[in-house]
Amino acid sequence: MTETFDIAIVGAGITGCAIARQLARFDLSICVVEAANDIAMGASKANGGLVHAGYDPAPGTVKAQVNARGCELYGTWSQELGFLFCRTGSMVLGFNDEDRAHLEQLRCNGLANGVPELSIVGPDRIHELEPRASADATCALWCPSTGFVDPFEVAIAALENAVANGVTFMRSAPVEAIEVAGLDDGVARFTLATPVGNVRCRYLINAAGNGAADISHMAGAEEFQMVWRQGNIVVLDKEPRTLMPLYPVPTPVSKGVIVTGTVHGNTVITATAAVRESGDTQTYANDVNALLSGARKLVPDLDTRRVVRAFAGGRPVIQGTNDFFIGQSAVVPRLFQAAGIQSPGVASAPAIAERMEHVMRDAGVKLHERADWNPIRRAPDDFDRAPLARKEELIESDPAWGQIVCRCETVPEAEIVAAIRRQPGAVSVEGVKRRCRAGMGRCQSGFCQSRVVAILARELDCDPSEVPLEDTGSWLVEGPLKGVR
Ligand SMILES: Cc1cc2nc3c(=O)[nH]c(=O)nc-3n(C[C@H](O)[C@H](O)[C@H](O)COP(=O)(O)OP(=O)(O)OC[C@H]3O[C@@H](n4cnc5c(N)ncnc54)[C@H](O)[C@@H]3O)c2cc1C
């Protein structure tokens, strides 16, 4: 089977989904081709979710431009797409004169990058802004524009909006080969071969994260190598008050160990940085210890016994550069690269999408806005956060809203069903978790996993043994499930 589109985007991480959403407003047919069985299955599911403000990338780099702009765009994107975004502001804590000099340098970088309202503050202001910040901090860079999101919620919301505007999502479709034809306007230039069918397109966008070098190579474009800059992260149980993101003075390769609240009230300690074998998502005791001790330096009263989860991901870094590669290929016209989107790819995603639109226009791609484009995605009902009156209304409409499946996060059966029926919907236990938080709480799905498997099996009309934990093949169940309806 071969399907033809104007544009194919390879990769449904936050970069590919944001680009799909940006381009969905134009009168073009678009397909997002993803190797895994769901959205946000690469680096986009394993990061700190921080919308960094953009004061640390070196001025003049692509990163610097898209980071500050991305942070700015998050306000509009969160409103239009109905995802949670907390713009709490952040502080980089300094403990001595050397740190203070570094903070001053960061402030100058930030000014050059267009980051608004940066200032250096002293101990009194530090404790006014975040009472739990270390009393040993003598100075801090206060940055009001920093915020945080749930990164997979952003990717899912962007792609849902794109799909509602006519974009096709092809999952479980790893691109294995690319054929490139001549530059004739009337015919498809690229043919992507995947195990579930071929995709032909006039324009190709490479947003394949850690697979970006392979896509570029398959298309005969720029040759580069990806480096898997791995990071461990730990998540702590919910706190009565959400912590403002607190950063240490950065190192040359990373922002160091950051402590931050999340949109759901947990605390996250993020992230280590070590070059490891591609695909390594193991957590390492040394890394976790480094996270815990780094966090205690910033927030001494942090109860690090409250860790509910540790995980790891790999930043997609292009070997030999610390910058993003966003532009038309210099070798293969009509191939557009959004490669090397290492940190801060989450913070930059809306601006990467905007930049991709400009790059394509400059390359002569005709982008005509559709009259029926709808930028709004209504957020699905979140039972736990809903006011009492809405909870009662939902239960009245369907008693399954009153059947709590995940007790830690108060997720009822109807919310799980909605997560599966959304477009594109969940097809795995983790896909349900990313959409509605069932299994995300302190018991980490100990109580609800078998119920979620049963609901998925019922909704997808398959046997529980065919329901994966995550990607296809990660089966959970061998025999009949006991005691689940
Ligand atoms: C530990 C850690 C912490 C981080 N913290 C932050 C943070 O707090 N703030 C921030 O801004 N950034 C952070 N980042 C960076 C951020 O996660 C990445 O920049 C971002 O997720 C990259 O998104 P992407 O869509 O480009 O790549 P990915 O999310 O990796 O998506 C690429 C997609 O392409 C698919 N793909 C690959 N090859 C193929 C193929 N051949 N065919 C089809 N599909 C293919 C993959 O399956 C994948 O789904 C962090 C990263 C890590 C690892």
What are the tens digits of pLDDT across the range 383-433? 999 999 999 999 999 999 999 999 999 999 999 999 999 999 999 999 999
Active site includes 102? no
Compute the distance from residue 42 Cα to the ligand 1 centre, in Å.
5
Q: Is the CB of 70 under 6 A from ligand 1?
A: no
Identify whether the C-beta of residue 427 lies closer than 8 Å to the C-beta of residue 460.
Answer: yes
153 membership: H or E segment, kind and range: helix 151-164
Catalytic member of 52, 102, 217, 264: 52
The token duo for 481 is 């499930």
- Nearest atom in ligand 1 to 273's CA: 1
Identify whether the C-beta of residue 110 lies closer than 8 Å to the C-beta of residue 266.
Answer: no
Identify whether the C-beta of residue 244 lies closer than 8 Å to the C-beta of residue 88.
Answer: yes
The token duo for 142 is 């206060």
Q: What band does 63 get if pLDDT is binned at 50, 70 and 90? A: very high
Distance between CA atoms of residues 285 and 57, nearest Å: 29
Compute the distance from residue 321 Cα to the ligand 1 centre, in Å.
17
Range 221-248 burial, b when 16+ CB lie within 10 A, else e? bbebebbbbbbbbbbbbbbeebbbbbbb
Residue 485 has pLDDT above 60, yes or no: no
Query: Lowest-pLDDT range, 100-109, 243-252, 338-347, 419-428?
Result: 243-252
Alpha helices in 321-475 (DSSP H): 345-362, 388-397, 413-421, 429-436, 449-460
Side chain identity at residue 120, one-letter code:
I
Predicted TM-score (pTM) of the model is 0.97
Q: What band does 483 get if pLDDT is binned at 50, 70 and 90? A: low
pLDDT in tens, 27-57: 999 999 999 999 999 999 999 999 999 999 9
Q: Is the CB of 210 under 6 A from ligand 1?
A: yes
Residue 255 has pLDDT above 90, yes or no: no
On average, the pLDDT of the chain sits at: 96
Q: Is the CB of 256 under 6 A from ligand 1?
A: no
| pLDDT of amino acid 459 | 98
* Mutate which of 153, 275, 315 for ligand 1 pocket (most atoms within 8 A of beta carbon): 315
Phi, psi dihedral angles at 269 (to 5 degrees): -115, 120
Q: Report DSSP letters for 187-217, one per residue.
A: S--EEEEETTEEEEEEEEEE--GGGHHHHHH
Compute the distance from residue 368 Cα to the ligand 1 centre, in Å.
29
Identify whether the C-beta of residue 188 lies closer than 8 Å to the C-beta of residue 200.
Answer: yes
Compute the distance from residue 151 Cα to the ligand 1 centre, in Å.
10
Q: Is the CB of 174 under 6 A from ligand 1?
A: yes
Closest of 158, 136, 213 to residue 32, by C-alpha = 158
Identify whether the C-beta of residue 67 lies closer than 8 Å to the C-beta of residue 52.
Answer: yes
| pLDDT of amino acid 484 | 57
467: left (phi over 0), alpha (psi -120 to 50) or beta: beta
Distance between CA atoms of residues 228 and 260, nearest Å: 24
Q: Is the CB of 10 under 6 A from ligand 1?
A: yes
pLDDT in tens, 139-193: 999 999 999 999 999 999 999 999 999 999 999 999 999 999 988 777 789 999 9
